[in-house]
Structure 1
Amino acid sequence: MPLAVLTGHDSRTGVRERNEDFVGMVTPAEPDLSTKGLMAAVADGVSGNDGGREASEYTVRGLLTDYYATPDTWPVTQAMDKVIKAINGWVQHQGSIRRELAGMATTLTAVVLRGTYYYFAHVGDTRLYLLRGGALTRLTTDHVWDRPEMQHVLTRAIGLDTRIAIDHGMGELRERDVFLLASDGVWGWMSEYDITHALSAVAMDRSDPEATAAALVDAALAADSSDNCSALVLKVVTLPEENLRDALSGSRQLPLPPKLKPGQAIDGYEVEDVIHASQATLLYRVREPKSQRQLVLKTLHPDRASDAHERSAFAHEEWLAKRVVARFFPQVIVPEQKNYLYYLSTWHEGATLQQMLDAGTHFTAPEVVTHGEKLVRAIGALHRRSILHRDIKPGNVHLGADGELRVLDLGVALSGLEREDGIHAPQAGTPSFLAPEQFDNAPPSRQTDVYAAGVTLYQMLTRHYPYGEIEPFQRPRFGEPAPPSRYRPDVPAWLDNVLLKAVARDPADRYETAEEFLIALERGASNPVPARSVTPLAKRDPAGLWRAVAVSSVVLNLLMLYLLVMR
């Protein structure tokens, strides 16, 4: 489903002789809607000279034209920044060479709605408001002197100086969000209560953006506004599914939070505990102020602030986490406001399987089967969403106090859906859980996740690995896996066969899908998996076979020579 936005605008001269405001908007069709987004802008030409109208119109027209000519690979903020700075240079130059346009300048507020994010650029005292959930937020700051008698004197404007500082911002979109771009002729003569009331009618479908923009201008003029009055209203109707490009764009814009301690807060969320800290990431348990529920906040370590690769990998993880809406995974929670790079997910009491093993928990065969069924269901849910986890292991499987089993950590997961953006997840995995073919540089597959799940269940039963523990950078040789019953005589033969098939060295001997693995666990002893025959050496290791034949031949010849000499 594409992004759908309702729009409306109104701009009137008011008591002035001419309208020095200018509003503009571009609502492109695909593919520009997905790659560039919808753009709206309002500018208020600085009055007192003939160049105010020319500056505002040229600025808006130039921005709406040149923004869509920038490369698709540029982030939205970069594209707007470069275009606005170029326009500023042109306006400033025209004011310096044309006497009748001396001092020409204008304010500018522009917003881009693309994918599931909004981006804005701002200079001057035009404003951008956002109404969400009945609450009005002003997203821009007026660039005026803070002295009461100079509140209408601009400190920044397009054309005011050869160099310009542009305010940029961004945030996630929500359905029913309503944006207002307004000149000071409107917002300066209305209370925020009145603006909220007008925009709420749009959000609640009691009015359309066009009628609301006209109503805002009418209200400002009725309040004896002494300036030109312009309003542009946007309402988000539907949102597309977030793509990886937008997620990566967001990761570049937001700063990393500092390292937090219990008792501190971030965006209103109070930190209760540090759950985990590694060289790359930090996990906190936080409390949401409104609902008082506990959540998990995950972010990058502050030392990784300038690491573009880590930022991209983190954004990729969050993007995938939002896609796996199922009981087998912690669910991502979207905050009301987000000023730093992090993401929130649900908190669940309990422990990982690795923590339980380390604490001495003994899993019975029936418990392993029960947990195994849930684990392979979770893996199947990932695969149906075209996601490969690539790091299934006891440390990434959480058993909640509510009895639910949840798969954690999509940090190295890979989905075919991001290939359209030219992005790939980083190569990673835990050696002892990597399928044998991956040591020969075979790509990850559904069967490699199935293999890792089999090793996880094997370790729960035996505290051993089917082929022994594999150290990082080790080049292992895989023989025949030891049956779990070698370490646990109470393991039934049918479960031996099920797990041995899951961890088979050859992918052709393994379960093809998680669903096939699940059926084998569910059927159990009633319809057991047949015992796998031992692979002949000629097939398992043909080179080794011929080496053995050669060695045997040499030994036999030496023996025969010895016997002849002894005669």
Structure 2
Amino acid sequence: MSLTVSVGHASAAGLRERNEDFVGMVTPNEPELSSKGLIAAIADGVSGNAGGRDASEYTVRGLLADYYATPETWPVTQSMDKVLKAINSWVQRQGSVRPELSGMATTLTSVVLRGRFYYFAHVGDTRLYLYRGGALSKLTTDHVWDRPEMQHVLTRAIGLDSLLAIDHGMGELQERDIFLLLTDGVWATLGEIDVVRCLADVALGNCNCDDGSRRLVDAALGAGSSDNVSALMLRIDALPEENLRDALSVSQQLPLPPRLKPGQSLDGYQVEELIHSSQATLLYRVFDPRSQRQLVLKTLQPDRSGDPQERSAFAHEEWLAKRAVARFFPQVITPDRRNYLYYLTTWHEGQNLQQRLDAGRHFTIPEIITDGVRLVRAVGALHRRSILHRDVKPANVHMGTDGELRLLDLGVAQSGLEEKSELQAPQAGTPSFLAPELFENGSPSRQTDLYATGVTLYNMLTRRFPYGEIEPFQRPRFGEPVPPSRFRPDLPLWLENVLLKAVARDPADRFETAEEFQLALERGASNPMPARGAMPLAKRDPVALWRAVAVISVVLNLLLLYIVVVR
């Protein structure tokens, strides 16, 4: 599904002889809609100047045309910034070469809707509002003097200064969002209640965007506005599927938050505790006063601000986490407005399996079977969404006090939908849980995830690893896995066979799917899996086989030589 937007506008000169406002929008078809998005803009020429109308019209027309000529590789904000600064230079030059246009200038507010995100650029005192869930938010700041007698004197505008400072902002879209762009002839006259009432009718479908825009303009004139009056309205009717490219673009534009302490706030979320700090990321437990619930806020370390690869990897993790919608994973929460690079997930009381192991917890056979089934189901839920976890281990398996098992941390996961250049190295993960083929530059697969799942269950049972603990940068040699019954004599034979199949050295000897692994655990002793036969030497250790063949060959040759000499 593509981005679907309803649009409408209205503009009138009011009591003025000339309408110096100008509004415009471009609603392209595919592929431009996906690659560049929809753009809308509103401008108000500086009053009392003959060039006000020329400045506003040229600025809007120039932005709408030149934005689509910028490279697709540029972020949206970079494209708008480059175009507007070039337009600013042109407007300034017109005033110097044509005396009648001296001092020509205009305000401008523009918004781009692309994928599931919005981006805006703003200078002056035109405004951008967002109506969402019955609440109206002003997204822009008026660039006027703060003294009472100069509240209508602009401090920034297109053409006002050779150095143009543009406000940029962005956020995520939601269906039924309504964006409203207004000139000061409307917003300075109407109260917020009148605006909200009109937008509520548009949201409910009682009138369309054109009718809503006309209604606001007429209301402003009826309320005594003596200025030009213009309104431009956009309603989000449908959103496309989450786009990785947009997520990566967003990650390069948002600033990283500073390191936070308990009691501080970020975008309205109150920090309660630092949960975890790694070399790259920070996890906080935060409280959301609006929903009255605790959440987890994850972000990058502040010193990673200048690392585009870390930023892209973080955005990719969030993108995958949004696709993992199931009971087996924390769910991503979308904030109404995000000013920093982070993402939010649900918070769940409990501990991960590694914490339980470190506390000396002894897992019984029934617990291993029950938890194993739930863990395999979680891994299978990822695989059905074409996601490979790549770091299944006890530290990433959370046991909630609500009785749910949840698989955590998609930091090194991949989905198969990325470009080749975006894939991580094959050995991403924790060495002792990596399948043997990954040490030979093999590709991650469902079998490598199922192998790590088997090692996790083996470790829960025995606190050991089937091939011994593997240190980072070690190049291990894999022989036969140690039977877990050596450390747990109470282990039934059928369960041992299941675990040995899960951690088999050869991927062909493992379970093909999570569903097969789950079935083997569920049917248990009632329909046990047969023990795997001894692996032939040629498959287990081909080097040793050829060494033995060479030794036998030498011995036979010496024997033949002895017989010939004796005769």
TM-score range (shorter-chain normalised) is over 0.9
Deviation by residue 1:219-268 (Cα, 9 ceiling, x = unmatched): 11112211111100111111112211111122122221111122222222
Partner-residue secondary structure (3-state), 2:422 = coil
TM-score, with structure 1 as normaliser: 0.96
Name the structure 2 match of 1:501. 501
Contact 2:479-2:541 within 8 A present in 1 as well: no
How far did 1:364 drift? 1.3
Are residues 1:180 and 2:180 paired? Answer: yes
What's the CA shift for 1:559?
10
SS in 1 for 2:189: coil
Partner of 1:17: 17
Is residue 316–residue 425 contact of structure 1 (8 Å, CA) maintained in 2? no
Per-residue CA distance 1:247-305 (angstroms, 9 max, x = gap): 11221222211111222222222222111111211111111113322111111111111
Alignment of 1:206-285 (within 5 A): 206-285=206-285
CA distance in 2, matches of 1:559, 1:462: 50
Distance in 2 between residues matched to 1:265 and 1:47, nearest whole Å: 42
Paired position in structure 2 for 1:524:
524
Matched ranges for 1:35-54 at <5 A: 35-54=35-54
1:547 aligns with 2:551: no
**Counterpart in the other structure of 2:333:** 333
Partner of 2:166: 166
CA distance in 1, matches of 2:444, 2:155: 56
- TM-score using structure 2 length: 0.96
CA displacement at 1:356 relative to structure 2: 0.7
Specify the alignment match of 1:34 in structure 2: 34
Q: Aligned residue pairs: how many?
A: 564
- Amino acid across the alignment from 2:513: T
Any idea what SS the aligned residue of 2:381 has? Answer: helix
Q: Residues 262 and 271 of structure 1 are in contact (CA less than 8 Å); yes or no, is this contact kept in structure 2?
A: yes
Letter in 1 for 2:198: A
Tell me how far apart the structure 2 counterparts of residues 131 and 293 of structure 1 sit (CA, whole Å): 24
Instruction: Kindly state the Cα deviation for residue 500 of structure 1 after the two structures are TM-superposed.
Output: 0.7
Correspondence for 1:414 = 414
- The answer as to 2:108 corresponding to 1:100 is no
What is the 5 A alignment of 1:51-62? Answer: 51-62=51-62
1:158 and 1:294 map into 2 onto residues whose CA distance is 44
* 1:452-531 alignment, distance < 5 Å: 452-531=452-531
Residue 298 of structure 2 corresponds to 298
Cα deviation digits, residues 478-530 of structure 1 (max 9, x gap):
10111111111111111111111111111111111111111111111122111
**Matched position secondary structure for 1:240:** coil
Measure the CA separation in 2 of the matches of 1:426 and 1:366: 37
Q: Is the 8 A contact 1:261 1:273 kept in 2?
A: yes
Kindly provide the amino acid, as one letter, of the partner of residue 335 in structure 1.
P
Unaligned runs of 5+ in 2: none
Map Cα deviations across residues 84-127 of structure 1 (whole Å, 9 max, x no partner).
11111111111111122111111110001111111000011111
Distance in 2, matches of 1:29 and 1:424, equals: 31
- The structural deviation recorded for 1:461 is 0.9
| CA deviation string 1:302-340 (max 9, x = no partner) | 111111111111111111111111000011111233222
Name the Cα RMSD after superposition. Answer: 1.9
Q: Secondary structure at the match of 2:58?
A: helix
Q: What letter matches 1:424 in structure 2?
A: L
User: Cα distance, 1:369 vs. partner?
Assistant: 1.0
Verify: 1:424 aligned to 2:431, yes or no: no
| Equivalent residue, structure 2, for 1:307 | 307
Inter-partner Cα distance in structure 2 for 1:443 and 1:426: 9
Maintained 8 Å contact 1:313/1:426: no
Deviation of 1:551 (Å): 4.1
Q: Distance in 2 between matches of 1:542 and 1:130?
A: 67
**CA shift digits 1:153-197 (9 cap, x unpaired):** 111111112220010000111111111101111111111221122
Distance 1:501 1:176, change over 3 A: same
State the distance in 1 between where 2:364 and 2:137 align: 56
1:549 offset after TM fit, Å?
Answer: 3.3
| Maintained 8 Å contact 2:392/2:456 | yes
For 1:505, what is the secondary structure of its paired residue? coil
- How far did 1:46 drift? 1.3
Pairwise CA distance, 1:552: 5.5
Residues 532-541 or 445-454, more deviating: 532-541
Mapped contact 1:128–1:139 kept (Cα < 8 A)? yes
Distance 1:556 1:472, change over 3 A: farther
User: Could you tell me how far apart the structure 2 residues matched to 1:201 and 1:245 are?
Assistant: 34
Aligned-pair CA distance for 1:151: 1.6
> Which residue identity is paired with 2:251?
S
Structure 2 match to 1:451? 451
Q: Could you tell me whether the CA contact under 8 Å between 1:190 and 1:220 is conserved in 2?
A: yes
Secondary structure, aligned partner of 2:465: coil
Q: 2:172 touches 2:336 (CA, 8 Å); kept in 1?
A: no
Q: Is this contact kept in 2: 1:43–1:57, CA < 8 A?
A: yes
For 1:342 and 1:196, locate their aligned partners in 2 and report how far apart those are by CA, in whole Å.
30
Q: Distance in 2 between matches of 1:106 and 1:182?
A: 14
State how far apart, in whole Å, the 1-side matches of 2:242 and 2:418 are: 11
Who is 2:143 aligned against?
143
In 1: Cα distance, 2:559 partner to 2:276 partner: 64
Q: Which runs of 5+ in 1 are unaligned?
A: none
Deviation at 1:424, TM superposition (A): 2.9
Deviates more, 1:4-13 or 1:185-194: 185-194
Q: Distance in 1 between matches of 2:174 and 2:150?
A: 37
Superimposed CA distance per residue, residues 414-456 of structure 1 (whole angstroms, 9 cap, x where no aligned partner)? 0122339x63346511111111111111110111101110111
